[in-house]
Amino acid sequence: MAEAERIIGTPETPDEAAAPEEHEERQPPRGKRRITALVLVAVLAYVLDLVSKLIVVAELEPGNRSVELLGEWLRLDVIRNPGAAFGFGEAFTIIFTVIAAAVIVVIFRLARKLYSAPWAVALGLLLGGALGNLTDRIFRSPGVFEGAVVDFVAPKHFAVFNLADAAIVCGGILIVLLSFKGLDPDGTVHKD
């Protein structure tokens, strides 16, 4: 009988029998997937970015107006940015378009294993921001995949940005904090 148990892999000692239970404890805590939270945050970030750009372009761009919100410390100024953050890489608009599309694909793939609410918020912010700027790159002049992003939030002594940029930065910061805390997208916590 012992020979048959050894051949088919039945544990022979109590220590060997405990090994599968230990393995089960390492499995990620499953609950509800957080795809709905990711989508809601992404849609909110995207809609806020899109609506703000539509309003700013319609109200400020025709006369090249500027609106002071907090005196000289914070203004609304419309600029068209074909490059990346801080105006870098203006000749590489198509590359930024491809990068934004790749980020979106990676987030959708990661969403299948998403069980952490904080990660859902972080990825939702990244997704909404990437979609907001990608929309500009596809649909704004000078042409498809070469469009300039509408930036309008102008703090004193800082680069002009938009709400999509703010969502991307906040999502990135949240991801760094979650990583430092050891929280993975699947809901597990690791200590490295």
Question: What residues act catalytically?
Answer: 151, 165
What secondary structure, in 3-state letters, does the chain show? CHHHHHHHCCCCCHHHHHHHHHHHHCCCCCCCCCHHHHHHHHHHHHHHHHHHHHHHHHHCCCCCCEEECECECEEEEEEEECCCHHHCCHHHHHHHHHHHHHHHHHHHHHHHHCCCHHHHHHHHHHHHHHHHHHHHHHHCCCCCCCCCEEEEEEECCCCCECHHHHHHHHHHHHHHHHHHHCECCCCCECCC
